[in-house]
Chain A
Amino acid sequence: MNQERKIRVLIAKPGLDSHDRGAKIVARALRDAGMEVIYTGLRQTPEQIVETALQEDVDVIGLSILSGAHTTLFPRIMELIKEKGLNDVLVFAGGIIPEEDVPEMKKIGIKEIFGPGTPTETLVKYVKENVKKKI
């Protein structure tokens, strides 16, 4: 039997902001790169996002946030990811995240942060190179 592996990605919008154009552009770019992209829709709680990642058995989670609440929401998400044992999932983030917050975000386990204007090719390349091989 032929084994076919597809990269599965969850694009999630935590918190209360209501703009998801960026998230959709990222989703679309990853789709066009041959990945299977699940989008949560707006206004998700950390619990909803991590449970969705678990059920969908994704390899990658992309968090998009513009509201400034990343300092509260991201740590909670990373905590839940550890709690549920999703340690092999690659987590990156994008949106409006001030430079001075980046070290703290990386410390809690967000592997990379992409600001506005990042070419989608950069993102696709990053995901392909950094996704961890599961079984």
Chain B
Amino acid sequence: MSYEELARMVLKGDRRSIARAITLIENNHPKTQQMMSQLYRHGGNAHIIGVTGPGGCGKSTLVGKLVKEFRHKNKTVGVIAVDPSSPFTGGAFLGDRIRMQELSADEGVFIRSMATRNNLGGLARATKDAVCVLDASGKDVIIVETVGAGQSEVDIIKVAHTILVVLAPGLGDEIQAIKAGIMEIGDIFVVNKADRENADRAVIDIRTMLEMNSGKQEWKPVVVKTIAIEGKGVSQLVEKIEEHRKYLEKGAFASKRREQVETEFFEVLRQKIEESFLNDLKKKREFDKILEKILAREVDPYTAAENVIAKKLKNNKD
């Protein structure tokens, strides 16, 4: 199948083609870019929800129940569930689907498990483009579940419109709650496993933390209690998600998208520049020569880098 054809089938919502397109992205296939440039124009319609939080707090189970709730509202849903790759073998065990079993026979749902392939930040390198594929395929809602995130895995802010930070009782006191990082990115905080002891304590700690925030934000993050495994609190959670979407639609969407596009463009630009320089250097084996010089301390890395740039710019002019 040609890549134009594949893109066309994705736009029609063909499930096999969606799956194949995501594989191309994950494998960094040379034709990915052509395919993406066709799909990109058709995206921008889905509501993208990020679900993050520490491992074992119930993210996957909650995502499964959220999908069901959105399906009751007749929305089509895409899910990207990210799990870590082994830094030693590169292998991965992707187990998020186990908590979403009842959904695999529903044609309005598309779930894809994704390994980080050693990308840091809580997502895989391919996650953003995979979201773009699901978006172009016409899904109304796309849920991105991050790896079990500790404190600084906050890449989800580059992808999602609405972010759920999921916690469970007993994970730590109010000192944990005022730390920087993941606790700053939530639009909605979910205290899952709320039937456990200290659930109300966790809610209070999070609320206290939120009250310390400066009063400038228009959206005041909310705290919702759920017992995902029993489905309790999930419809209230979806109400809050809808409220956040309505708030975004009143104006904040535009600025959020602009920020995300800016970050993305900057990252792509940097990557392209890097590739273009490295390809040149490696083709002419200059890379090794420069390394030798630096090793022999004939030149420092900064001067060497500036020389490479100056030389390339000069060549481009000629």
Please tell me if the beta carbons of A57 and B91 are within 8 angstroms of each other in the complex: no
Please tell me if the beta carbons of B89 and A4 are within 8 angstroms of each other in the complex: no
Please tell me if the beta carbons of A45 and B105 are within 8 angstroms of each other in the complex: yes
Q: Which of B85, B90, B91, B110 has the most CB of A within 10 A?
A: B91
Please tell me if the beta carbons of A85 and B97 are within 8 angstroms of each other in the complex: no
CB distance from B316 to the nearest CB of A (A): 21
Please tell me if the beta carbons of B30 and A6 are within 8 angstroms of each other in the complex: no
Please tell me if the beta carbons of A33 and B89 are within 8 angstroms of each other in the complex: yes
Whether a CB of chain B sits under 8 angstroms from the CB of A37 is yes
Which residues does chain A contribute within 8 Å of B90, judged by CB atoms? 6, 34
Partner of B91, one of A33, A52, A134: A33
Which residues does chain A contribute within 8 Å of B7, judged by CB atoms? none
Complexed CA–CA distance, A3 and B153 (Å)? 26
Please tell me if the beta carbons of A55 and B27 are within 8 angstroms of each other in the complex: no
Partner of A54, one of B16, B86, B91: B16
Whether a CB of chain A sits under 8 angstroms from the CB of B8 is no
Whether a CB of chain B sits under 8 angstroms from the CB of A27 is yes
Q: How large, as a class, is the contact surface on chain B?
A: 20 to 34
Partner of A2, one of B28, B86, B111, B115: B28
Task: Closest A residue to B85 by CB, please name it.
Answer: A36
Whether a CB of chain B sits under 8 angstroms from the CB of A39 is yes
Given A1-B28, A3-B27, A38-B113: A54 and B93 interface contact (C-beta under 8 Å): no
Task: Closest B residue to A49 by CB, please name it.
Answer: B104
Please tell me if the beta carbons of A38 and B89 are within 8 angstroms of each other in the complex: no
Given A54-B19, A85-B16: A48 and B104 interface contact (C-beta under 8 Å): yes
Query: For residues 75 through 96 of chain B, which have their beta carbon under 8 Å from a beta carbon of chain A?
Result: 85-86, 89-95
Complexed CA–CA distance, A135 and B92 (Å)? 22
Whether a CB of chain A sits under 8 angstroms from the CB of B259 is no
Which residues does chain A contribute within 8 Å of B115, judged by CB atoms? 6, 36
In the A-B complex, the 7 residue pairs with the smallest Cβ-Cβ separation, listed nearest first, are A41-B98, A57-B19, A31-B91, A57-B23, A48-B104, A38-B94, A34-B90
Identify 14 new A-B residue pairs, CB closer than 8 A, beyond the known A36-B91, A55-B18, A85-B16.
A1-B28, A2-B28, A3-B28, A4-B27, A6-B26, A31-B91, A32-B91, A34-B91, A36-B94, A36-B113, A37-B91, A38-B97, A40-B97, A135-B29
17 contacts between A and B (CB under 8 A): A3-B30, A6-B27, A36-B91, A36-B113, A36-B115, A38-B94, A39-B94, A39-B97, A40-B97, A40-B98, A48-B104, A52-B111, A54-B19, A56-B19, A57-B22, A84-B16, A135-B29
